[in-house]
Amino acid sequence: MHDLPAHLREDHGITALQTNLRQIVYGGNDGIVTTFAIVAGFAGAGAEGTAQIGALAVMLFGLANLFADATSMGLGEFLSHRSERDIYRATRRKELELISSNPEGEFSEVVQLLQKQGVNNADALAYADLLERNPQLMADFMMRYEFDMGHSDSSSGVREGVFTFSSFLVFGVVPLIPYFLRDPDPLAFQLSVMGTFGALIALGLCRWFATGERLLRCVSETVLVGGVCAVVAYTVGVIVGS
């Protein structure tokens, strides 16, 4: 028996980036937009107000928000994954009970589900008979095709939370970098805008590298979604500051 993680990595090219792409994109996009919202809020409220606040205050407020939200996102991802896993386990236990108490009904459901997938009647009966003799596999089949629930029992949720937290920090700090280097003047905000869109492009490139989908689609979707959020943040700052 081959080591499954090694097999997926070596023969199928499944990387950590692909495995955790959802957490990376989710955390990264939210980190970029959340931090830029702070910068845009100050800038939208007016250059004079931003100058009075000072770069140190912008950085402190931005960093405090960055780490607080990153922690919240990471723990939220952890709890979400744990809840999803608990639901999966409870549903699967119920399904195993039904397979034991009502094998005829479950056998019929398997046949119907297979037929919906285009399997002919003879093959569906043969496959259902095989699954009936293997209740654990039958339960897995029902979880996938009856409840449309992917397997959620292989991870504790810690890895997902760590990736979400780390991605939030790495991408989310980018809009703040200009304020580490200069006073909070209009140029600093312009550099922050460029950095924000650069970070969104980098996030889109991560999607492209992991999925192999069209480069333009991966980058444009990521930039569009993040860009809309950034414009909303700046607009709110203008409205509040006016």
Is there a domain that residue 11 lies in? no
pLDDT of residue 1: 44
Tell me: pLDDT of 51 over 60.
no
pLDDT tens digits, one per residue of 212-237: 788 999 899 989 988 888 788 777 76
Q: Which is more confidently placed, 2 or 154? A: 154
Residues 191 and 73: their CA atoms lie apart, in Å, by 26
Mean pLDDT of the chain: 82
Q: Give a yes or no: residue 153 inside a domain.
A: yes
Domain count, the chain: 1
pLDDT, mean of residues 49-60: 63
Is 10 inside any structural domain?
A: no
Integer Cα distance of 42 and 60 in angstroms? 13
Angle, helix 121-132 to helix 135-145, in steps of 10 degrees? 130
Packing angle of the helix pair 215-241, 186-211 (nearest 10 deg): 150
> Average of pLDDT values for 12-40?
78
Query: Tokens 């285009």 belong to which residue?
Result: 118
pLDDT tens, position by position, 24-35: 888 898 899 888
Tell me the two tokens of residue 24.
Answer: 């990376």
In a domain, 1, yes or no: no
- Inform me whether the pLDDT recorded for 52 exceeds 60: no
Reported as a pLDDT band with limits 50, 70 and 90, residue 166 is very high
Q: How confident is the model at residue 160 (pLDDT cuts 50, 70, 90)?
A: confident
For 35, 170, 209, 231, 235, the CA distances from 240, given in Å and listed in that order, are: 18, 29, 40, 14, 9
Above pLDDT 90, what percent of the chain? 36
Tell me, yes or no, whether 2 lies in a domain.
no
Model pLDDT, residue 7? 45
The pLDDT tens digits for 70-111 are 999 899 989 988 888 888 899 999 999 999 999 999 999 999
pLDDT of residue 12: 44
Give per-residue pLDDT as tens, 117-156.
899 999 999 999 999 999 999 999 999 888 888 776 566 7
Q: With CA atoms as reference, report the closest residue to 165 among 12, 31, 65.
A: 31
The answer to whether residue 4 is domain-embedded is no
This prediction has a pTM of 0.75
Residue 173 belongs to some domain of the structure? yes
Domain limits for position 230: 17-241
Q: For 51-67, what is the mean pLDDT?
A: 74
Residue 213 included in any domain: yes
Tell me the mean pLDDT in the region 35-61.
68
